[in-house]
Amino acid sequence: MNPVKIGLLGLGTVGGGTVNVLKRNAEEISRRAGRAIEVSHASARELNKPRICDTTGITLTSNPAEVVDAPEVDVVVELIGGDGLAYEMVMKAINNGKHVVTANKALIAKHGNEIFAAAQKKGVMVAFEAAVAGGIPIIKAIREGLSANRIEWLAGIINGTGNFILTEMRDKGRDFADVLAEAQALGYAEADPTFDVEGIDAAHKLTILASIAFGIPLQFDKAYTEGITRITREDVTYAEELGYRIKHLGVARRTNGGIELRVHPTLIPERRLIANVNGVMNAVLVKGDAVGPTLYYGAGAGAEATASAVVADIVDVVRALTSDPENRVPHLAFQPDQLSDLPILPVDEIVTAYYLRLQVEDRPGVLADITRIFGEAGISIEAVLQKEPAEGETSVPLIMLTQRVKEQSMNQALAAIAKLDAVTGEPVRIRMESLG
């Protein structure tokens, strides 16, 4: 049987890693797929650039359309990134009747509904395991391994850059800006780190996970996104004193009113396994009604970690080449005509607990005024931590943990507290999840 020919769009870190894994493990992969798999064509912006892989025997071009149109290519692997040229090439490949593998979370989160509809019409597969959490097979786990379950919620550390920054702030008492500069020097963060530190990258990934978990269309534009740029080392220290860790978490939860879809800094009890995921590592915690909580941990980025997921998708596609298109695993886990119209809840409607830090004047009656406002809003206080004033200072930090309450109620209470004469500056609020 002839080898399956792969056309790679992009020969950067992940593209080079994919070539290396396919060549190094060729025999093992062939035994699993039932056929040999070869990279026959590849496109790259700079053809003479030094690479981490051996391109001997691969037809190289600077025009990705030539790869997509090559009649010998059976499967197009898109590793360009972004949602401009990548979208154009993926749709072209589908229209050419070719299967597609992609590691592009922005492309799937923003255009996946359209892409999957086109693929369904053409009878081809679009595989995207590498788009979320690098080498962790989280999409396959939710879509197939947990298919007996009604997924109740999932929570994930799905951006390694943000996790590295928060880990360094906790372990070494460093400031955000200092650690970010190191992350950029180490290559963990881009020169413009906005996608990582503001949660946009994690929101792309969470959108995909939520769609697969709950059987809803992809709705990236409705995901609530909050970054970690305002997290201080003081908040990290206070959280530790109270038995919590701060993580930049993506949370998707099924409720009676709809789906919570949110990315933000989150306090997690330090005893939880996911609270102890450090550095650039990723982890996703999934709660199913039958299996209970399950945790998936591993490298969320890197040449061969991500290539592991890309090649696994290629193997899945090769295995399914001769199967009936109607009987393949659905792209979003549920049959296309069975997707739910459950709404994505606005952030005002979510229910969670809170960590609050207020800077208040050190005088009698201040705490009573604050607790009165919370009481009128129906907010219960779980714990209070009040620090001594620094020498020569008349104000002190007041740290409070609340029980679960609707965000709208918390917003109203904080607005009233901010108007108190004894409160200086803007209250700091970080959401909390027990993940129990």
pLDDT tens-digit readout, 206-263: 999 999 999 999 999 999 999 999 999 999 999 999 999 999 999 999 999 999 999 9
CA proximity to 328, closest of 134, 131, 113, 122: 122
**243: its two tokens:** 């038995």
Q: How many CB atoms within 10 Å of residue 197?
A: 21
Which residues of the chain are under the pLDDT cut of 50? none
Secondary structure string (H, E, C) spanning 315-348: HHHHHHCCCCHHHCCCCCCCCHHHCCCCCECCHH
| Claim to verify: residue 127 and residue 162 sit in the same structural domain | no
Nearest to 55 by CA among 44, 65, 64: 44
**CA 389 vs CA 299, 356, 378, 428: distances in Å:** 43, 18, 30, 18
Q: Under a CB-based contact definition with an 8 Å cutoff, are residues 21 and 308 in contact? A: yes
Instruction: Based on the fold, state whether residues 43 and 111 are members of the same structural domain.
Output: yes
> Residue 391 class from Cβ within 10 Å (0-12 exposed, 13-18 middle, 19+ buried)?
exposed
Tokens linked to 18: 């994919």
- Residue 388 identity (one-letter amino acid): E
What type of residue sits at position 173? Answer: G
Are residues 403 and 319 located together in one domain of the fold? no
CA 414 to chain centre: 29
Are residues 361 and 267 both part of a single domain? no
183 in the same domain as 71: no
* Options 98, 140, 205, 247, the catalytic residue: 205
What's the CATH code of the domain at 112? 3.40.50.720
- Return the closest-CA partner of residue 129 out of 118, 142, 115, 116: 142
Q: Of 299, 327, 360, at which residue does a domain stop?
A: 299
Query: Which residue in this structure is represented by tokens 């997707």?
Result: 339
Do 160 and 291 belong together in one domain? yes
CATH number of the structural domain spanning residue 237: 3.30.360.10
> What are the residues facing 396 on neighbouring strands?
360
Is 205 catalytic? The answer is yes
82's tokens: 């972004």
pLDDT of residue 1: 80
Q: How far apart are CA 141 and CA 136, in angstroms?
A: 9
What is the pLDDT at residue 327? Answer: 77
User: Would you state the pLDDT for residue 324?
Assistant: 76
Q: What is the pTM of this model?
A: 0.95
Let me know: does 293 contact 286? Beta carbons within 8 Å: yes
Measured distance CA(298)–CA(187) in Å, rounded: 19
Q: Answer whether residue 65 is part of any domain.
A: yes
Integer Cα distance of 17 and 306 in angstroms: 8
Angle at 279 between CA 274 and CA 282, to 5 degrees: 50
pLDDT digits (tens, 9 = 90+) for 323-371: 777 778 899 889 899 999 999 999 999 999 999 999 999 889 999 999 9
- Give the number of domains in the chain: 3
Residue 314 contacts residue 75 (beta carbons within 8 Å): yes
**pLDDT for position 321:** 87
Check whether residue 98 and residue 217 sit in a common domain.
Answer: no
Euclidean distance between CA atoms 142 and 212, whole angstroms? 7
pLDDT of 323: 74
Q: Do 164 and 258 belong to one domain?
A: yes
- Nearest Cα neighbor of 104 from 119, 124, 94, 90 is 90
Q: Looking at the structure, do residues 64 and 195 belong to the same domain, yes or no?
A: no
Residue 201, token pair as written in the block: 């990258």
Is residue 391 included in any domain, yes or no?
Answer: yes
In a domain, 218, yes or no: yes
For 372, the domain range is 350-432
Q: What confidence score (pLDDT) does residue 278 get?
A: 97
In-domain check, residue 344: no
Q: Is residue 197 part of a domain?
A: yes
Residue 124 and residue 151 in contact, taking contact as beta carbons nearer than 8 Å: no
Q: Would you state the pLDDT for residue 326?
A: 76
166 and 48 in one domain?
no
Q: Are residues 110 and 149 in the same domain?
A: no
